[in-house]
Structure 1
């Protein structure tokens, strides 16, 4: 047989096996179809059974989605692909179940908070406005939140940063283990405990309530978060960078300042911003230590002061329709504040991230 005849002979196609790599496969839009069918079955079953709760409809639809995905994939493809599809379906269902409450919260907050959120609301206080009447604003609470969170950040960030540097770069033996243990304990301390601790100091030394006392309680809550986030970022810095700097005769403290910290600066900044966002919504320490005020007090070292979480609680306690609207508007302002901090953190982290070379 000539070489040309051998080359012209058609290549035999391997047989299609259901359990092999060339088995039949579902189209890419199959999960979407499964979801539509599952929702239709869940809603139909809910209506037929007389269930009024939409939550029950959603849970039944999620169960139908997982079952349909597994059964259809088993019939069309094979059991190995069906198990993979089952795991993927469970992950998607868990994701949707986690996201729905979040979007529901944001939707309710935005829809109700936008009723009174305007320039007047952001630039006026509640001075002279009865709680059950319309009017007033949140300006005094915004000032209080910015000052209290700012003081807490100034106090906690250097302490947390230095503690993390000690644990990563110098910490050895019993002292380092003790510091790590107490940081772990402080991470789980409820905010009311920090407030009670500062309240006992206030009563002992006969101090007046002020924004500073609230900021000290917030700093106690913020320190362990800064320590933990900074510690993890410093551990991600390659040891080769430290060794190269030390091999050139650079002292260790200059290696930390000039090499280690700049390399981890993006992650450290992100951790600090997340810690700020964590304490911005604390209410219990403010209730105990700041007492709240309807007047504008720009001096955090003297006199009662308000904050956004305290303002929300205060307006909700009044119980009128106008106070509820102000509470939802203040909640929307607080969410926007936290969202801005997270966006700033992501921007700084991307800006300071090490550039990937080719």
Structure 2
């Protein structure tokens, strides 16, 4: 008798746990209904265009789905569905500008994807000449960003190691404070600093009293912008390394510097690479420092230590202001080239860091 009572109670509880749910196709049906209502209320009445129609349809979709879920599933499940919908909507809203930028670059940047663009410069190219390319700007970007990376990465990593592993007290706090301050420095300020210090003060000492603009000066100004990003990202990655790894090495008698080199840095390596590539991407896209201290040049200059030099970002800026119907195509193609160049470098660095991690 007790067994039958227990089975009956369990069956009743199981029936109470079963609730009605909306079918899997209901969100699509609600979306279609919201789109139709928004189209009738907004577009057909000339109250707004396609963008406003989409916004109103999104709002109506959340409202209609909440009402339907409340009627069928209950208020608690309805709140869960609405929160999930809002999260997905926020993701799509954040993704929309990125997709728009990528689509614009690809659609407009393919007009000059030819050998002439990548193999020639703008030397002796007039406003009515459809030829001319960004070979000189590509060379300038690679040299300037490469030298800035060689200067910044060792300094940034060593600074982060000192803050995390060795720094205590006032000095470490002061370094961290000034790094945070440098993070918000405008690019024009770093260009002015290198212009006054390096171009107008240091180079005249080695150039018969004459100031010398160069791509190396642009690399120095870019390194000023890259340094705080590298330091902060490396610092955060080093702090994520478990203390147990350090303590285990110390217990085995391994010196601190060797623990950092052989355990801490390899463990934080992928994150450090990501921070470095973020800094490189910012440096490659800066225009004001290059314009101030490198001056820009329409011809090819491989000597990064002497003479004016251009970059892809400066090339885009110059071509966007040229009164020629062929200039916008060159500007868009240069912008696409810059994005692809940064993407290739980032993917290559990620693959290299992953390969080293697997090798260990």
- TM-score normalised according to structure 1 size: 0.91
- Pick closer, same or farther for the CA change 1:259–1:192 going to 2, 3 Å: same
- Pick closer, same or farther for the CA change 1:268–1:63 going to 2, 3 Å: same
Structure 1 residue 233 corresponds to structure 2 residue 230: no
Give per-residue Cα distances to partners, 1:20-68, cap 9 Å, x unaligned. x421112334333333332333233221331453321222122112212
- Pick closer, same or farther for the CA change 1:240–1:9 going to 2, 3 Å: closer
Structure 1 residue 101 corresponds to structure 2 residue 77: no
Which residue number corresponds to residue 80 of structure 1? 76
Equivalent residue in structure 2 for 1:246, among 245, 250, 253: 250
Check the 8 A contact 1:132/1:319 in 2, yes or no.
no
Which residue number corresponds to residue 12 of structure 1? 11
Q: Measure how far apart 1:179 and its partner are.
A: 0.5
Q: Distance in 2 between matches of 1:325 and 1:43?
A: 36
Q: Measure how far apart 1:258 and its partner are.
A: 1.3
Which residue number corresponds to residue 119 of structure 1? 115
Q: Measure how far apart 1:347 and its partner are.
A: 2.7
- Pick closer, same or farther for the CA change 1:73–1:115 going to 2, 3 Å: same
Q: Distance in 1 between matches of 2:42 and 2:346?
A: 40
The runs of 5 or more residues in structure 1 that have no matched partner are none
Residue aligned with 1:12, SS: helix
The runs of 5 or more residues in structure 2 that have no matched partner are 205-210
Check the 8 A contact 1:274/1:341 in 2, yes or no.
no
Q: Give the aligned length.
A: 351
Which residue number corresponds to residue 207 of structure 2? none
Which residue number corresponds to residue 306 of structure 1? 310
Which residue number corresponds to residue 203 of structure 1? 200
Q: How do 1:120-199 residues align onto structure 2 when only pairs under 5 Å count?
A: 120-199=116-195
- Pick closer, same or farther for the CA change 1:228–1:59 going to 2, 3 Å: same
Which residue number corresponds to residue 48 of structure 1? 44
Give per-residue Cα distances to partners, 1:51-107, cap 9 Å, x unaligned. 453321222122112212211111111111111111111112222222222212211
Give per-residue Cα distances to partners, 1:280-320, cap 9 Å, x unaligned. 11111111111111101011100011100000011111032
Give per-residue Cα distances to partners, 1:125-173, cap 9 Å, x unaligned. 1111114421111111100000000000000000000000001101110
Which residue number corresponds to residue 276 of structure 2? 272
- Pick closer, same or farther for the CA change 1:43–1:263 going to 2, 3 Å: same
- TM-score normalised according to structure 2 size: 0.90
Moved more, 147-156 or 36-45: 36-45
The alignment's C-alpha RMSD in Å is 2.4
Which residue number corresponds to residue 89 of structure 1? 85
Q: Distance in 1 between matches of 2:75 and 2:9?
A: 33
Residue aligned with 1:321, SS: coil
Which residue number corresponds to residue 335 of structure 1? 339
Equivalent residue in structure 1 for 2:225, among 211, 218, 221: 221
Moved more, 218-227 or 111-120: 111-120
